[in-house]
Amino acid sequence: MNRPILMWNVGIWLLVAATEVLSAEVPAAVLGAQAARVAVVAAASDSTLAVFGPDGGGGGSGVIISPDGYALTNFHVTAPSGAAMKCGMNDGKLYDAVLVGVDPTGDVALIKLFGRDDFPAATLGDSDKVRAGDWVYVIGNPFLLATDFVPSVSYGIISGVHRYQYPAGTLLEYTDCLQTDAAINPGNSGGPLFDGRGTLIGINGRGSFEKRGRVNVGVGYAISINQIKNFLGYLRSGRIVDHATLGAVVASDEEGRVVVSDILENSDAYRRGLRLDDEVVKLAGRPIRSVNALKNVLGTLPRLWRVPLVYRRDGEMYEVLVRLGGVHGAGELAEKISGKPGAPPRRPDGRRPKKDQKTPPPKHPNKSIDKLKKAPAVVKQHYEQKKGFANYYFNRRHIQRLADAVRRGWDPHEQKDSWVLTGDIQSDVGEGPMRIVLGPKVGSAELPFYQGRADFTDELSEVLDPPATGGLLLALHLWQRLFLGGVDDFGKVEYIGTVPLHGHAHQVDLLIGMHAGVEVHFMFDPDSGQLLALEMFPDDGVDPCEIYFGDYREVDGLSLPHRFEVLYAMRRYGVFRISSFAFKEAEKE
């Protein structure tokens, strides 16, 4: 057969084959999968943002997480913009937005959009359930291509979970992050990583790039949504958020165990019994099998959280609750992101690295206050500058919310400043009737095993009666002071965010007050506003007096607790059951 005839026959065969393929029905499963994928991308794109600076320059991506306009993005996206920015959405509209809170170490920022009360919000997923091989979508504004605000989509798989990325300079430490081969390019920063069902599992932030073209090479990293959930309450507080430290340095021994190589004696972990050479087995419910595994867990936790720690010594296991410290000292993190030459961060052993290890940080958003002059009125109305805060407006609003809840039903014109609490106490050392009197200057207690008084005009850090309580009378006096004078008369008060509380399924609101050098942590139910617990720290580096409140009942129009459980140094002092409250004018002394 000659070549022309052969080619003719092959052509005819290919044409027939192609016709058969085209005429064949596509399996319904394939069409269904395609339709589902298109629907997921469409819904996910609705909540995705193109984030720009107030003048329309720069930018990145973001994602709406609540119908009232709260959205997540990267800290490094918001840092150049200051407090105000513009956000484009899939509906083709541009919305004004204000900065709420920032987590510079974790590279997360919370912003709030204005103009609607029905923003399409993404559903937050569970990143701990993500596994390598899961299908994912990266949606955002790579290379600022979304000039019409319609985001771009890339498709890929999860390449790895629980990845640790060392800090970029002294900030931007990516811990416990998700790795994906879906393209994350410049401009995707701050945008969402969705799973195959369209739930939000991460915020894209870093990638490995071909150096000359800044093009993704198939290795990108997203901050896990579970880490962000832990910090979300803090971010809503308008704060510059700090991460947690155990107050200890760990290393791997010859057997591969993670053991304590150094520890601060003023850390809560030390007070709970952790010592040199102890093996760290679990933290916050996560197994610790390497040094990086501990860094991963700590990186997902804010300072002041109290989490379970399991450690092993001489073959015996111990489980305790530890209160986590902050990586940075007071004001240190704010200085870092302000551009001011601040001191380098302390290591967990308390020592500072050498000066030449400092890296110039990005500008703090509050330093761009001049940009706010041209911002829309709605942004100016929702921004308040204060040292140490990303946006104090939101902190002040939460303080007022809790203050109103505390004093609900309280008539300041009829208030009496001397309270008498009677009832009974049950404890390991005795039980029987009790009577506590709380006045503005003096308090007293009559218990089956203690009778004494406390002078609140003395140095408060030394008012620790009754013994083995850490200062119960002082703690109750400060609780009473919050009721009588509110937050304005208490002293320095800050809303911290939401924290876990042992015995409660949901996180609770944390308000910290400072009065005469004494620090008090007030923890509230976020729904009812009831005070659930109080921790009073008479001094730095000591255990607090802990009071857990319950059995709330109405007394003269006020909702007051009729059960106090008192703990000190993880030991229960006793349970107070209040049968009556009496209010009267304090006797002049």
Q: Which residues are catalytic?
A: 76, 107, 189
Residue 540 in 3-state DSSP?
A: coil
Amino acid identity of 378? V
Report the distance separating Cα 468 and Cα 445, nearest Å. Answer: 14
Amino acid identity of 438? L
Helices (H), 262-382: 268-271, 291-299, 332-338, 377-381
Determine how many CB atoms are found less than 10 A away from the CB of residue 518. 21
Q: What is the dihedral of CA 348, 351, 355, 356, to 10 degrees?
A: -50
* Secondary structure (H, E, C), 93-135: CEEEEEEEEEECCCCEEEEEECCCCCCCCCCECCHHHCCCCCE
Helices (H) and strands (E) in the chain, counts: 10, 31
Report the distance separating Cα 139 and Cα 194, nearest Å. Answer: 8
Helix (H) or strand (E) holding 403, with range, is: helix 392-406
Amino acid identity of 532? L
Nearest Cα to 335, choosing from 390, 391, 392, 388?
388
Report the distance separating Cα 240 and Cα 109, nearest Å. Answer: 9
Residue 511 in 3-state DSSP?
A: strand
| Token couple for 52 | 């720009």
**Which residues 6+ apart lie within 8 Å of 95 measured at CB?**
69, 86, 87, 88, 89, 113, 114, 115, 116
Helix (H) or strand (E) holding 446, with range, is: strand 442-447
Query: Is the separation of the CB atoms in 268 and 324 below 8 Å?
Result: yes
Determine how many CB atoms are found less than 10 A away from the CB of residue 455. 15
Query: Is the separation of the CB atoms in 151 and 199 below 8 Å?
Result: no
Query: Is the separation of the CB atoms in 211 and 159 below 8 Å?
Result: no
Nearest Cα to 240, choosing from 109, 432, 393?
109
Report the distance separating Cα 240 and Cα 423, nearest Å. Answer: 44
